[in-house]
Amino acid sequence: MNIVDSSGWLEYFSGGSNADYYKEPLQKPSALIVPSITIYEVFKVILREADENNALQAIAAMQKGTVVDLTTSIAADAAKLSLNHHLPMADSIILATAKKYDCLIWTQDSDFENLPNVNYFQIKNKKIPT
């Protein structure tokens, strides 16, 4: 099973330089777990950067996988993981969901870089703010 982190979905949707890394898990929706927090993060960014229609299309694509809601047990596990690994809330929820469903996480978020069961891809050609 696989989880694509929000950064991976956004990279894929935008056709970024790392987009090809995410084709493998995204082309196998039957083996894809989608934490609901990733839907929130992706929708928010696309809504801010583009428009609601594009954001809704992204959600439709994400729902081809199995969407997993935040449960009490995932929330409690995420809180522990957040403290143990110094992770932000969304990342700890994604990690807790991955552990519960025995998933490999695909990401370019450096918060996951040294964690087990993670395919981390360093960001290529990072845009420099002007």
> Could you state, in order of their start, the residue ranges of all structural domains in the chain?
2-120
Question: Which of 21-25, 112-116, 121-125 shows the lowest mean pLDDT across its residues?
Answer: 121-125
User: What confidence score (pLDDT) does residue 124 get?
Assistant: 81
CB 37 within 8 A of CB 5: no
pLDDT in tens, 21-36: 999 999 999 999 999 9
Short-list 21, 1, 16, 11, CA closest to 121? 21
Burial string for 25-42 (b: 16+ CB within 10 Å, else e) reads bbeeeeebbbbebbbebb
CATH superfamily name and code, 2-120? 5'-nuclease (3.40.50.1010)
pTM over 0.85: yes
Q: What is the largest CA-CA distance in the chain?
A: 42
